[in-house]
Amino acid sequence: MAEEQRGNMPANEWWPRIARRAVAGLGVQPGELVQVRDQAGRPEVLVEILLAVERAGATPWLEIEPPAYVRRLVTEVDPAHLAQWDRHRGDLMGRIDHNKTGDQTGADIDRVHEALKHLELVYCEMEPGTALFFHANLLHRSDANRSPNPRWSLICCYNAARNPCKGRANHPEYSYLERWPDERIKEVGRRQLDAIAT
């Protein structure tokens, strides 16, 4: 099928141009949070509008961000602007208190249920041995393990050595982390698995 064209310009060039003009015409300013709605039903247009808002130094807000936008965002937008990305989106919900439920501490469940009405729930189905890194303020959960197999997880929280937590309960101070070879880690895992099996 022939690619859509306007004059001699292919669509992959004119949609970005139209998006830049639309964003400039709206007077989008750096630091603004701009709500974007997909009313055209054209994913390729939506992605270009979102990227044009980002390039203008503003943060687009859309209930569900298309994967194509996120992929291009991390490769095409100024890294200094991306550093503000999480902060802007975090401002949408404000502070969420954490409460104890049994031995676990978790986000206020009423706020979580409200967030689920408005935000996308993304399942991360991963192969054994896969690591998932995400921002500390991202709401996250692990559904019940209904399989006959154990599910292990290792949750690592990092804090810069220059950010001391002296005198704060459950916030240990910096201590040197010894690097181990892979074989030593695997051996510890095997011993723990053997201990569980007996």
The verdict on residue 43 lying in a domain is yes
Q: Three-class SS of residue 159?
A: coil
Residue 77 belongs to what domain range?
Answer: 5-90
The verdict on residue 179 lying in a domain is no
The verdict on residue 26 lying in a domain is yes
Task: Answer for the pair 59, 89: CB distance below 8 angstroms, yes or no.
Answer: yes
The verdict on residue 49 lying in a domain is yes
Give, rounded to a whole angstrom, the gap between the first and last alpha carbons of the chain: 63
Span 18-70, pLDDT tens digits = 888 888 888 888 877 777 877 667 777 888 888 888 888 887 777 556 666 66
The verdict on residue 132 lying in a domain is no
Enter the tokens of residue 186: 């695997």
Task: Record the pTM.
Answer: 0.40
The verdict on residue 32 lying in a domain is yes
Triad 135, 137, 138: Cα angle to 5°? 70
The verdict on residue 153 lying in a domain is no
The verdict on residue 198 lying in a domain is no
Task: Answer for the pair 94, 66: CB distance below 8 angstroms, yes or no.
Answer: no
Question: Quick one: pLDDT at residue 7?
Answer: 58
What total number of domains does the chain contain?
1
Span 123-161, pLDDT tens digits = 888 787 777 777 667 788 888 888 888 877 777 766 677
